[in-house]
Amino acid sequence: MTKKDLDHLKSVMQKALTLAKKNKEGNVATYIPELANMPAELTSMAITLKDGTHLFVGQECEHQITLQSAAKLVVLIGLLEELGAEKLFSIVKVEPSGADFASVARLDQFGPEPSNPMLNSGAILLCNYIPGKTSEQKLYWLETWVERLFGEKLNIDGKVFASEKRTGDRNRSLAYLLKSNGLLKGDVGEVLDTYFYLCSFQATVSQASYLPMLLAHGGVAPNGTRVISTTTAQHVTAIMATCGLYNESGTHLVATGMPAKSSVSGFILAVALGHAGIAVMSPRVTKKGTSIRGEIMLRYLAEHLSWHLVN
């Protein structure tokens, strides 16, 4: 991009941010107690372009929050690369659920396999397949893939991890249902610890925009290195488009044309295919766990940059 193009992009980002901050709807998620401590007014956006250029607007560019469900992309991508699509999609299906992200009823009624890997049940089951004989080896696998997919090492928020472990009864219900159906073979406690650890990686909004940039450019890093296969990038982007915002996925895709993954912490990671990776962050979320201000910003970008996938 030329300097003029970059200036225009930054201007559009700033206008999107200004518009979003006027909205006072939604609340910070509290079902994970530690998340309730996030500043409700925190609102920011970052874009990473194909050449690695970072653009940022908003508050506290160094403020880190946990990735939560956005981190489900890590275990999905890593296992797709190591197990292959045929094996992985025999473990978990890839159909939109039309249900809450932690729905026990959905799993019980339409299982035994989880409907897709973006649901809590799908990600928990995939954590059972992370290679390693010990918990330490499995966590190291996660750390390695996180660093690979975000371009740098990310830290764990220990307080959030402890909070999730202490209050994650619905996830325990999902795990035990998977266990009773013969799908989860490992120790339920160890698998859930791995899942809670996955959700507790923390990032700034600029760091978070790196992974969707990889997907936007078919798995290739700014220096030309192939990080993941084209096939994996295609599969993951398609799953984000159909399942990434749970039962709001269709509404989001129609409005923005950007495959995305939401998070109750306030992150949305979005893929502007062929253009850039986008991360928006604001902890005011809907009852379905989607950042309200984040969606406003993404819709503004799609309209004013012609980044809708059908353009």
| Residue 33 DSSP SS3 | helix
Integer angstrom CA distances of residue 5 from 1, 9, 10, 241, 307 = 6, 6, 9, 27, 14
Per-residue pLDDT of 70-93, as tens digits, reads 999 999 999 999 999 999 999 999
Query: What's the pLDDT score for residue 86?
Result: 96
Inter-helix orientation angle 230-243/72-83, to 10°: 140
What is the rounded distance in angstroms from the CA atom of residue 102 to the CA atom of residue 174?
8
Q: With b meaning 16 or more CB within 10 Å and e meaning fewer, what string describes 198-233?
A: bbbbbbbbbbbbbbbbbbbbbbbbbeeeebbeeebb
Tokens of 106: 């959905």
What is the rounded distance in angstroms from the CA atom of residue 188 to the CA atom of residue 178?
9
Please report the domains of the chain, with CATH numbers, ordered by start residue: 3-65+204-305 (3.40.710.10), 69-201 (3.40.710.10)
Query: What's the pLDDT score for residue 307?
Result: 87
Query: What's the pLDDT score for residue 3?
Result: 86
Query: What's the pLDDT score for residue 109?
Result: 66
Per-residue pLDDT of 82-133, as tens digits, reads 999 999 999 999 988 766 665 665 666 666 889 899 999 999 999 999 999 9
| pLDDT beneath 70, residues of the chain | 60-61, 98-111, 311
Q: What is the pTM of this model?
A: 0.94
